Structure 1
Amino acid sequence: MNEVEPRIRCFPEPATPPELRVQVVELQDQAWPLPEPAEGVAAIGPSHDPALRPLSMLLVDDDGVVVAALDILAKELAHTGGHFAVGGLSTVVTRPAARGQGHGRRLVAAAREEMLAGGFDLGLFTCDRPLRAFYEQAGWEVLPGAVLIGGTRAAPFRSDRPGFDKVTMASFFSADAIRARASFEHCDIELYPGEIDKLW
């Protein structure tokens, strides 16, 4: 008997059903542990700045188990005289027991298609250098020499800061973005998504 592939489900982060949101937060807490919340408090609220319009994409099996999850964040980007609708991947995580089966790659590839269908000019984010091949296999490409500047103008947070080993990944969707592609290489990209999602 063939196993049923987990299904991709998308929700604006605040509209994610609670039974799924709890699982997403548990997976995020395992991957990026934070200080314990106050006793009796279940931290299932938003993880991202609402101004970035977070869209949660979940891979859910037939038993309602979240196998993998990520969020797409969005903002307008001013760059070299142009203005672009840019999306980024954030909090990409796969349940430990389900790793190595292609679930994360499937979800990351689907997020790229979601951005394309959603009218974004381009997708842009950083990842740890060892994960470069993972994202490339899902259709993303490295932007050579590109440094994302996150945080805010008053408190910038660079992706090439000491102790970081990041590469910048991208996909170009619109004709305007494709024409401007070379301007995104070997430069600083002033993303400034804010204090909560410093680099998405």
Structure 2
Amino acid sequence: MSTVSSDLLSILPYRQTSGQVRRDIALLMHRVWPDQSAPSQGETVPEEHDPALDALSCFIYRGNRLLSYAAVLNFTLSHAGQTFRVAALSCVATDPAYQKQGLSSLVVSTVTRCIENSHADIGLFTCDPPLASFYAKAGWPAVSGVAVIGSHDTGALSSTELGKVVLLRMLSEHASDHAAAFANTTLALGLPLGQFV
């Protein structure tokens, strides 16, 4: 079995990735979540991340095959009369044929370090309940009593409706000083309709 050490891990702002890498990301998302449409040959690849979210991409290639991916989305959250810089995990995916090799752990730990070394006040993510223990090992505690909605718009995605667990980290003194505002609350992310973390 190949090991993670023989793979090429890269970290790059999404806007600086090549067209081929973006196509590979879209194809990986389709392999992991087949309900997402895969781009056909020659078709323009839709952007995986809204440019306004200044995504940071972390990906692992083995040869010319993209095996694992994770991103960090950056945006500002207005909550309880305060403004917080958010760094959110997004699009964590590993090719189903290459799972159980530590690839997801590697990309998640890498982007987690990027988040910890950024200027973010808050780290945020949502996941399916069975995955919460995996993210807890990477330093992402699940919190109860907190819901996340994409926005206040009708039809916005919601952690409650999607059955997601909310993972939240206070990263700065500013966030810690206002930690009480993040108990038993709903966080409206102000994202465009259809976008979520």
- TM-score norm. by structure 2 comes to 0.87
Asked whether 1:60 is paired with 2:58, we answer no
Larger mean CA deviation between 78-87 and 7-16 belongs to 7-16
Extract structure 1 runs of 4+ deviating beyond 4 A: none
Larger mean CA deviation between 75-84 and 16-25 belongs to 16-25
Secondary structure at the counterpart of residue 73 of structure 1: strand
Distance 1:110 1:35 in 2: 28
On the 8 A contact 1:141/1:170 being kept in 2, the answer is yes
Secondary structure at the counterpart of residue 157 of structure 1: coil
Q: How many residues align?
A: 193
Secondary structure at the counterpart of residue 30 of structure 2: helix
Distance 1:36 1:100 in 2: 24
Taking only aligned residues, the RMSD between alpha carbons, in angstroms, comes to 2.1
On the 8 A contact 2:127/2:164 being kept in 1, the answer is yes
Secondary structure at the counterpart of residue 36 of structure 2: coil
On the 8 A contact 2:30/2:37 being kept in 1, the answer is no
CA deviation map 1:146-195 (0-9, x unaligned)? 10011x3332332112xx22110022211111232232122111112112
Equivalent residue, structure 2, for 1:18: 19
Distance 1:157 1:65, change over 3 A: closer
Distance 1:36 1:110, change over 3 A: closer
Q: How does 1:66-85 map to 2 (within 5 A)?
A: 66-85=66-85
* Letter aligned with residue 181 of structure 1: A
Structure 1 unaligned runs (5+)?
none
- TM-score norm. by structure 1 comes to 0.86
Secondary structure at the counterpart of residue 160 of structure 2: coil
* Letter aligned with residue 122 of structure 2: L
On the 8 A contact 1:105/1:137 being kept in 2, the answer is no
* Letter aligned with residue 159 of structure 1: S
Distance 2:123 2:183 in 1: 14
On the 8 A contact 1:160/1:166 being kept in 2, the answer is yes
Q: Percent of counterpart pairs with the same letter?
A: 27
Distance 2:138 2:6 in 1: 18
On the 8 A contact 1:72/1:89 being kept in 2, the answer is yes
Structure 2 unaligned runs (5+)?
none
Distance 1:54 1:196, change over 3 A: farther
**C-alpha displacement of 1:114:** 0.5
